Protein backbone atom coordinates (compact mmCIF):
# COMPACT_ATOMS: atom_id res chain seq x y z
CA UNK A 1 0.00 0.00 0.00
CA UNK A 2 2.69 2.38 1.03
CA UNK A 3 4.65 1.58 -2.10
CA UNK A 4 1.61 2.15 -4.26
CA UNK A 5 0.99 5.48 -2.67
CA UNK A 6 4.57 6.44 -3.19
CA UNK A 7 4.43 5.46 -6.82
CA UNK A 8 1.18 7.33 -7.22
CA UNK A 9 2.50 10.53 -5.72
CA UNK A 10 5.65 10.17 -7.76
CA UNK A 11 3.78 9.82 -11.01
CA UNK A 12 1.44 12.62 -10.05
CA UNK A 13 4.49 14.68 -9.42
CA UNK A 14 5.84 13.84 -12.82
CA UNK A 15 2.63 14.77 -14.53
CA UNK A 16 2.57 18.02 -12.66
CA UNK A 17 6.13 18.67 -13.68
CA UNK A 18 5.39 17.91 -17.31
CA UNK A 19 2.37 20.17 -17.27
CA UNK A 20 4.38 22.85 -15.61
CA UNK A 21 6.87 22.67 -18.42
CA UNK A 22 4.07 23.37 -20.89
CA UNK A 23 2.44 26.12 -18.95
CA UNK A 24 5.15 27.66 -16.84
CA UNK A 25 5.91 31.13 -18.04
CA UNK A 26 9.45 31.76 -19.19
CA UNK A 27 11.32 33.95 -16.77
CA UNK A 28 13.21 36.62 -18.73
CA UNK A 29 15.57 38.78 -16.70
CA UNK A 30 17.30 42.04 -17.57
CA UNK A 31 20.33 43.80 -16.18
CA UNK A 32 20.61 47.55 -16.78
CA UNK A 33 23.70 49.67 -16.34
CA UNK A 34 21.53 52.74 -15.71
CA UNK A 35 18.17 53.38 -14.19
CA UNK A 36 15.11 51.78 -15.81
CA UNK A 37 13.82 55.27 -16.54
CA UNK A 38 17.02 57.10 -17.35
CA UNK A 39 15.38 58.59 -20.41
CA UNK A 40 18.05 57.06 -22.59
CA UNK A 41 19.79 53.78 -23.19
CA UNK A 42 18.56 51.68 -20.29
CA UNK A 43 15.03 53.01 -20.65
CA UNK A 44 15.13 51.81 -24.25
CA UNK A 45 15.74 48.31 -22.98
CA UNK A 46 13.11 48.61 -20.28
CA UNK A 47 10.51 49.73 -22.80
CA UNK A 48 11.46 46.65 -24.79
CA UNK A 49 10.99 44.53 -21.67
CA UNK A 50 7.47 45.92 -21.26
CA UNK A 51 6.87 45.30 -24.97
CA UNK A 52 7.92 41.68 -24.46
CA UNK A 53 5.62 41.41 -21.47
CA UNK A 54 2.71 42.81 -23.45
CA UNK A 55 3.32 40.70 -26.55
CA UNK A 56 3.66 37.41 -24.73
CA UNK A 57 1.27 37.93 -21.84
CA UNK A 58 1.12 34.93 -19.51
CA UNK A 59 3.85 33.12 -21.35
CA UNK A 60 6.55 35.27 -19.91
CA UNK A 61 7.48 36.84 -16.60
CA UNK A 62 10.13 39.51 -16.44
CA UNK A 63 12.44 40.91 -13.80
CA UNK A 64 15.12 43.52 -13.90
CA UNK A 65 17.98 44.87 -11.82
CA UNK A 66 18.98 48.46 -12.48
CA UNK A 67 22.01 50.68 -11.87
CA UNK A 68 24.39 47.73 -11.91
CA UNK A 69 28.06 48.71 -12.04
CA UNK A 70 30.34 46.92 -14.43
CA UNK A 71 32.73 44.47 -12.77
CA UNK A 72 32.11 42.35 -9.66
CA UNK A 73 28.67 43.86 -9.11
CA UNK A 74 27.55 42.74 -12.55
CA UNK A 75 28.94 39.24 -12.01
CA UNK A 76 27.11 38.95 -8.71
CA UNK A 77 23.80 40.19 -10.09
CA UNK A 78 24.01 37.84 -13.07
CA UNK A 79 24.75 34.91 -10.78
CA UNK A 80 21.94 35.89 -8.47
CA UNK A 81 19.50 36.08 -11.37
CA UNK A 82 20.64 32.72 -12.72
CA UNK A 83 20.25 31.20 -9.27
CA UNK A 84 16.81 32.69 -8.81
CA UNK A 85 15.47 30.70 -11.76
CA UNK A 86 15.74 33.02 -14.75
CA UNK A 87 15.57 31.08 -18.00
CA UNK A 88 17.07 33.76 -20.16
CA UNK A 89 19.08 36.77 -19.08
CA UNK A 90 19.65 39.87 -21.15
CA UNK A 91 22.76 41.77 -20.11
CA UNK A 92 22.21 45.08 -21.80
CA UNK A 93 25.54 46.87 -21.53
CA UNK A 94 28.85 46.30 -23.23
CA UNK A 95 30.75 46.50 -19.96
CA UNK A 96 29.02 43.37 -18.65
CA UNK A 97 30.83 41.24 -21.23
CA UNK A 98 33.41 39.40 -19.18
CA UNK A 99 30.93 38.95 -16.33
CA UNK A 100 28.45 37.35 -18.69
CA UNK A 101 31.08 35.06 -20.16
CA UNK A 102 32.08 33.93 -16.68
CA UNK A 103 28.53 33.38 -15.43
CA UNK A 104 27.36 31.71 -18.64
CA UNK A 105 30.04 29.09 -18.11
CA UNK A 106 28.79 28.47 -14.56
CA UNK A 107 25.13 28.12 -15.57
CA UNK A 108 25.00 26.06 -18.77
CA UNK A 109 21.22 25.61 -18.52
CA UNK A 110 20.46 29.30 -18.57
CA UNK A 111 20.54 31.25 -21.81
CA UNK A 112 22.41 34.55 -21.88
CA UNK A 113 22.15 37.39 -24.34
CA UNK A 114 24.70 40.18 -24.27
CA UNK A 115 24.09 43.49 -26.00
CA UNK A 116 26.86 45.04 -28.15
CA UNK A 117 29.57 42.56 -27.17
CA UNK A 118 31.60 40.14 -29.25
CA UNK A 119 32.15 37.06 -27.10
CA UNK A 120 29.77 34.15 -27.53
CA UNK A 121 29.38 30.63 -26.12
CA UNK A 122 26.93 27.76 -26.53
CA UNK A 123 24.49 29.44 -24.17
CA UNK A 124 25.62 33.02 -24.81
CA UNK A 125 24.46 35.02 -27.79
CA UNK A 126 25.17 38.63 -28.65
CA UNK A 127 22.91 41.20 -30.21
CA UNK A 128 23.40 44.68 -31.50
CA UNK A 129 21.73 47.20 -33.75
CA UNK A 130 23.23 49.00 -36.74
CA UNK A 131 22.56 52.43 -35.32
CA UNK A 132 25.07 53.85 -37.76
CA UNK A 133 22.53 53.33 -40.54
CA UNK A 134 20.38 55.94 -38.84
CA UNK A 135 23.33 58.24 -38.40
CA UNK A 136 23.95 58.17 -42.15
CA UNK A 137 20.48 59.61 -42.62
CA UNK A 138 21.16 62.24 -39.95
CA UNK A 139 24.30 63.22 -41.84
CA UNK A 140 22.39 63.74 -45.06
CA UNK A 141 19.72 65.79 -43.34
CA UNK A 142 22.28 67.90 -41.51
CA UNK A 143 24.24 68.69 -44.66
CA UNK A 144 21.12 69.66 -46.51
CA UNK A 145 19.66 71.68 -43.66
CA UNK A 146 22.77 73.46 -42.37
CA UNK A 147 23.45 76.97 -43.58
CA UNK A 148 26.93 77.13 -42.12
CA UNK A 149 28.07 73.80 -43.49
CA UNK A 150 29.19 72.78 -40.01
CA UNK A 151 27.52 70.52 -37.47
CA UNK A 152 28.45 70.09 -33.83
CA UNK A 153 28.82 66.56 -32.51
CA UNK A 154 28.52 65.87 -28.77
CA UNK A 155 30.01 62.54 -27.86
CA UNK A 156 30.48 60.47 -24.76
CA UNK A 157 33.42 58.09 -25.07
CA UNK A 158 35.57 56.94 -27.98
CA UNK A 159 34.30 53.39 -28.37
CA UNK A 160 33.74 51.75 -31.77
CA UNK A 161 29.96 52.28 -31.53
CA UNK A 162 30.50 56.03 -31.27
CA UNK A 163 33.24 56.16 -33.92
CA UNK A 164 31.00 54.22 -36.34
CA UNK A 165 28.33 56.82 -35.74
CA UNK A 166 30.66 59.73 -36.46
CA UNK A 167 32.04 58.13 -39.62
CA UNK A 168 28.65 57.16 -40.93
CA UNK A 169 27.24 60.61 -40.20
CA UNK A 170 30.16 62.19 -42.02
CA UNK A 171 29.76 59.92 -45.04
CA UNK A 172 26.08 60.81 -45.23
CA UNK A 173 26.83 64.51 -44.94
CA UNK A 174 29.60 64.39 -47.52
CA UNK A 175 27.30 62.68 -50.00
CA UNK A 176 25.30 65.91 -49.97
CA UNK A 177 28.03 68.46 -49.34
CA UNK A 178 31.61 67.19 -49.87
CA UNK A 179 33.04 70.08 -47.84
CA UNK A 180 30.83 69.51 -44.80
CA UNK A 181 32.60 69.93 -41.47
CA UNK A 182 31.93 68.74 -37.95
CA UNK A 183 33.20 70.01 -34.63
CA UNK A 184 33.50 67.27 -32.02
CA UNK A 185 33.20 67.73 -28.27
CA UNK A 186 33.79 64.82 -25.89
CA UNK A 187 31.93 65.24 -22.60
CA UNK A 188 33.33 62.03 -21.06
CA UNK A 189 30.00 60.95 -19.66
CA UNK A 190 26.95 59.19 -21.06
CA UNK A 191 24.68 61.25 -18.95
CA UNK A 192 25.04 64.67 -17.35
CA UNK A 193 22.34 67.06 -18.59
CA UNK A 194 24.28 70.11 -17.46
CA UNK A 195 27.51 69.17 -19.22
CA UNK A 196 25.67 68.13 -22.35
CA UNK A 197 23.88 71.48 -22.38
CA UNK A 198 27.19 73.31 -21.89
CA UNK A 199 28.74 71.43 -24.78
CA UNK A 200 25.78 72.31 -27.00
CA UNK A 201 26.08 75.97 -26.06
CA UNK A 202 29.82 75.96 -26.73
CA UNK A 203 29.19 74.48 -30.16
CA UNK A 204 26.45 76.94 -31.05
CA UNK A 205 28.69 79.77 -29.84
CA UNK A 206 31.26 78.60 -32.35
CA UNK A 207 28.81 78.94 -35.17
CA UNK A 208 27.36 75.53 -35.83
CA UNK A 209 23.64 75.48 -36.51
CA UNK A 210 22.89 71.78 -36.08
CA UNK A 211 24.03 69.46 -33.33
CA UNK A 212 24.18 65.71 -33.18
CA UNK A 213 24.55 63.89 -29.90
CA UNK A 214 25.76 60.51 -28.79
CA UNK A 215 24.87 61.11 -25.15
CA UNK A 216 21.62 60.24 -23.46
CA UNK A 217 19.85 63.32 -22.15
CA UNK A 218 17.53 65.65 -24.06
CA UNK A 219 19.43 68.69 -22.74
CA UNK A 220 21.30 69.50 -26.00
CA UNK A 221 18.00 69.47 -27.89
CA UNK A 222 16.48 71.81 -25.34
CA UNK A 223 19.33 74.24 -25.96
CA UNK A 224 18.80 73.95 -29.71
CA UNK A 225 15.12 74.69 -29.20
CA UNK A 226 15.91 77.75 -27.10
CA UNK A 227 18.35 79.11 -29.63
CA UNK A 228 16.20 78.40 -32.65
CA UNK A 229 18.71 75.86 -33.95
CA UNK A 230 18.32 72.16 -34.73
CA UNK A 231 19.33 68.77 -33.47
CA UNK A 232 18.54 65.06 -33.41
CA UNK A 233 17.06 62.90 -30.66
CA UNK A 234 19.02 60.04 -29.21
CA UNK A 235 17.71 56.58 -28.29
CA UNK A 236 14.11 57.77 -28.09
CA UNK A 237 11.84 60.30 -29.77
CA UNK A 238 12.60 63.49 -27.84
CA UNK A 239 10.32 65.80 -29.78
CA UNK A 240 8.38 66.55 -26.59
CA UNK A 241 11.46 68.33 -25.33
CA UNK A 242 12.14 70.22 -28.54
CA UNK A 243 9.12 70.27 -30.86
CA UNK A 244 10.66 72.90 -33.14
CA UNK A 245 14.24 71.71 -33.02
CA UNK A 246 14.19 67.94 -33.38
CA UNK A 247 14.64 66.97 -37.00
CA UNK A 248 14.29 63.27 -36.33
CA UNK A 249 15.65 60.76 -33.84
CA UNK A 250 17.20 57.34 -33.91
CA UNK A 251 14.87 55.30 -31.72
CA UNK A 252 16.11 52.11 -30.06
CA UNK A 253 13.59 49.35 -30.60
CA UNK A 254 14.87 46.18 -28.97
CA UNK A 255 11.38 44.81 -28.24
CA UNK A 256 10.82 42.64 -31.32
CA UNK A 257 14.22 41.05 -30.83
CA UNK A 258 13.39 40.15 -27.26
CA UNK A 259 10.09 38.61 -28.32
CA UNK A 260 11.79 36.63 -31.05
CA UNK A 261 14.43 35.25 -28.69
CA UNK A 262 12.07 34.33 -25.88
CA UNK A 263 9.77 32.62 -28.38
CA UNK A 264 12.73 30.70 -29.74
CA UNK A 265 13.59 29.59 -26.24
CA UNK A 266 10.05 28.30 -25.70
CA UNK A 267 10.05 26.50 -29.06
CA UNK A 268 13.39 24.94 -28.31
CA UNK A 269 14.92 26.65 -31.32
CA UNK A 270 17.14 29.05 -29.37
CA UNK A 271 20.68 28.96 -30.70
CA UNK A 272 23.71 31.03 -29.89
CA UNK A 273 24.34 33.65 -32.54
CA UNK A 274 25.69 37.11 -33.14
CA UNK A 275 22.80 39.20 -34.27
CA UNK A 276 23.46 42.61 -35.79
CA UNK A 277 20.30 43.92 -37.30
CA UNK A 278 19.45 47.26 -38.79
CA UNK A 279 16.73 49.54 -40.07
CA UNK A 280 15.17 46.84 -42.20
CA UNK A 281 14.64 44.60 -39.16
CA UNK A 282 13.14 47.53 -37.24
CA UNK A 283 15.55 47.17 -34.32
CA UNK A 284 16.06 50.87 -34.76
CA UNK A 285 13.44 53.13 -36.21
CA UNK A 286 13.49 56.71 -37.31
CA UNK A 287 11.22 59.19 -35.53
CA UNK A 288 9.09 61.34 -37.87
CA UNK A 289 11.06 63.74 -40.07
CA UNK A 290 10.03 67.19 -38.92
CA UNK A 291 11.06 70.84 -39.10
CA UNK A 292 12.53 70.44 -42.58
CA UNK A 293 11.55 71.25 -46.12
CA UNK A 294 9.55 68.76 -48.15
CA UNK A 295 12.62 68.33 -50.29
CA UNK A 296 14.86 67.35 -47.39
CA UNK A 297 12.19 65.11 -45.95
CA UNK A 298 11.87 63.31 -49.26
CA UNK A 299 15.61 62.79 -49.42
CA UNK A 300 15.62 61.40 -45.87
CA UNK A 301 12.79 59.00 -46.59
CA UNK A 302 14.43 57.84 -49.79
CA UNK A 303 17.70 57.24 -48.00
CA UNK A 304 15.92 55.27 -45.31
CA UNK A 305 14.26 53.12 -47.97
CA UNK A 306 17.54 52.66 -49.80
CA UNK A 307 19.20 51.38 -46.63
CA UNK A 308 16.27 49.06 -45.93
CA UNK A 309 16.70 47.73 -49.46
CA UNK A 310 20.27 46.79 -48.69
CA UNK A 311 22.44 49.87 -49.18
CA UNK A 312 25.39 49.94 -46.80
CA UNK A 313 26.57 53.41 -45.71
CA UNK A 314 30.09 52.04 -45.58
CA UNK A 315 30.35 51.46 -49.32
CA UNK A 316 33.52 52.59 -51.11
CA UNK A 317 35.20 54.65 -52.26
CA UNK A 318 36.04 55.75 -48.71
CA UNK A 319 39.27 57.41 -47.67
CA UNK A 320 40.56 57.34 -44.14
CA UNK A 321 41.32 60.51 -42.23
CA UNK A 322 45.05 60.11 -42.93
CA UNK A 323 44.38 60.01 -46.66
CA UNK A 324 44.92 56.27 -47.18
CA UNK A 325 42.29 54.23 -48.97
CA UNK A 326 39.95 52.24 -46.74
CA UNK A 327 37.42 50.89 -49.20
CA UNK A 328 37.72 50.77 -52.97
CA UNK A 329 34.78 51.69 -55.16
CA UNK A 330 31.86 49.36 -54.57
CA UNK A 331 33.57 47.57 -51.71
CA UNK A 332 31.70 47.40 -48.41
CA UNK A 333 33.17 47.29 -44.91
CA UNK A 334 33.52 43.96 -43.17
CA UNK A 335 31.59 43.51 -39.93
CA UNK A 336 34.80 42.68 -38.08
CA UNK A 337 36.29 46.03 -39.07
CA UNK A 338 33.15 47.89 -38.13
CA UNK A 339 32.88 46.09 -34.81
CA UNK A 340 36.23 47.46 -33.70
CA UNK A 341 36.29 50.63 -35.76
CA UNK A 342 38.84 53.11 -34.41
CA UNK A 343 39.69 55.48 -37.22
CA UNK A 344 37.91 58.40 -38.80
CA UNK A 345 37.06 58.90 -42.41
CA UNK A 346 38.48 61.82 -44.33
CA UNK A 347 37.13 65.20 -43.37
CA UNK A 348 36.70 64.56 -39.63
CA UNK A 349 38.74 67.10 -37.73
CA UNK A 350 39.51 65.34 -34.45
CA UNK A 351 42.01 62.88 -33.04
CA UNK A 352 41.14 59.55 -31.48
CA UNK A 353 43.12 58.42 -28.46
CA UNK A 354 45.49 55.66 -29.56
Partner 1 sequence: MNLFLAMLPTIMTAATPLLLAAVGELVVERSGVLNLGVEGMMIIGAVTAFAGAQATGSPYAGMVCGILAGAAFSLLFGFLTLTLVANQVATGLSLTILGLGLSGMIGDSFVGTPGIQMGALPIPGLAEIPVVGPILFSHDLIFYLSILLVIAVHWFLFRTRTGLELRSIGDNHDSAHALGMGVIRVRYLAVMFGGACAGLAGAQLSLVYTPQWTENMTAGRGWIALALVVFASWRPVWVLVGAYLFGAVSIGQFNAQAFGFGIPSQFLSSMPYLATVVVLVLISRNRRLTLMNTPACLGKPFVPDR
Partner 2 sequence: MRLEIERRATRSSLYAALSPFIALALTVVAGGIMFAALGKDPFSALYSFFIAPLTSAWSLNQLAIKSAPLILIAVGLSVCFSSRNWNIGAEGQFIAGALMGSILPVMAPDWTSPLLLPIILVLGMVGGALYAAIPAILKAEFNANEILSSLMLVYVAQLFLDWTVRGPWRDPQGFNFPQTIQFSDSATLPPIYAGGAAHWGFVFALVAAVVTWFMLRRTLKGFEIRVLGESSRAGRFAGFSSRRMVYFSFLFSGALAGLAGICEVSGAINQLQPVISPGYGFTAIIVAFLGRLNPLSIVVAGLVLGLTYLGGEAAQITIGLSEKVARVFQGFLLFFVLGCDTLILYRIRLVSSRRASGEEAAQ
Please enumerate in sequence order all residues whose Cβ is within 8 A of that of 215, keeping only pairs 6 or more positions apart, or say none.
154, 155, 156, 187, 189, 190, 191, 196, 234
226 binds partner 1 (CB under 8 A): yes
Cα dihedral 30, 31, 37, 41, rounded to 10, equals: -100
Contacts of 209 (CB under 8 A, 6+ apart): 146, 147, 148, 150, 151, 229, 230
Pick from 202, 264, 265, 339: which binds partner 1 (CB under 8 A)? Answer: 202
Given candidates 69, 188, 273, 293, which one binds partner 1 under the rule CB under 8 A?
A: 188
Q: Which of 24, 35, 65, 160 binds partner 1 (CB under 8 A)?
A: 35
Among 83, 105, 240, 298, indicate the residue that binds partner 2 (CB under 8 A). 83
Kindly indicate which of the ranges 92-100, 122-130, 190-198, 250-258 contains the residues binding partner 1, using the contact rule CB under 8 A: 190-198
Sign of the CA dihedral with 320 first, then 324, 326, and 329 last = positive
Residue 133 or 216 having the CB closest to partner 1: 216
> 33 and 96 in contact (C-beta within 8 Å)?
yes
Interaction of residue 195 with partner 1, rule CB under 8 A: yes
Distance of closest approach, residue 325 Cβ to partner 2, in angstroms: 20
CB of 151 to partner 1, least distance (A): 11
* Burial class of 292 by CB neighbour count within 10 A (0 to 12, 13 to 18, 19+): middle
Quick note: the x/- pattern for partner 2 over 232-271, rule CB under 8 A, is ----------------------------------------
- The answer to whether 258 touches 52, Cβ cutoff 8 Å, is yes
Of the ranges 189-197, 310-318, 320-328, 336-344, which one interacts with partner 1 (CB under 8 A)? 189-197
Using CB under 8 A, which of the segments 48-56, 104-112, 236-244, 282-290 binds partner 1? 236-244
One of 52, 208, 262, 341 touching partner 2 (CB under 8 A): 341
Q: How far apart (Å, rounded) are the C-alpha atoms in residues 41 and 236?
A: 8
Pick the stretch among 30-38, 82-90, 131-139, 282-290 that binds partner 1 (CB under 8 A).
Answer: 30-38
Beta bridge partners of 115: 127
Say whether residue 353 binds partner 2 (CB under 8 A). yes
What part of residues 14-73 is at the interface with partner 2 (CB under 8 A)?
Answer: 29, 35-36, 63-67, 69-73
Q: What are phi and psi of 349, to 5 degrees?
A: -105, 75
Please list, residue by residue across 274-285, b when 16 or more beta carbons sit within 10 angstroms of its beta carbon and e when fewer do: eebbbbebebbe
Q: How far is CA 341 from CA 169, 205, 239, 337, in A?
A: 14, 31, 31, 6
Strand ranges for 52-158 from DSSP E: 60-65, 88-91, 111-115, 124-129, 150-155
- Strand partners for 184: 153
Count of residues interacting with partner 1 (CB under 8 A)? 39
Residues in contact with partner 2 by CB under 8 A are: 29, 35-36, 63-67, 69-73, 75-77, 79-81, 83-84, 94-95, 97-98, 118, 157-160, 163, 188, 339-342, 353-354
Residues in contact with partner 1 by CB under 8 A are: 35, 37-39, 43, 152, 183-189, 191-199, 201-203, 205-206, 217-219, 222, 226, 236, 240-241, 349-351, 353
Amino acid sequence: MKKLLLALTASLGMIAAAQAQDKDPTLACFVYVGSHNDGGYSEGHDKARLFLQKEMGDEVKTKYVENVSEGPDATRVLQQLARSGCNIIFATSFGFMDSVVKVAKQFPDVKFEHATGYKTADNLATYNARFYEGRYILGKIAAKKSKTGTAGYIVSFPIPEVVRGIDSFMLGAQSVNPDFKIKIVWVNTWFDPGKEADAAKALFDQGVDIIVQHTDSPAPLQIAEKRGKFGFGQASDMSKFAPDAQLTAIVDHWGPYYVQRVKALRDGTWKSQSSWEGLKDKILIMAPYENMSADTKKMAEETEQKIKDGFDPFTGPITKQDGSVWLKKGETAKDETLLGLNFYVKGVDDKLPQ
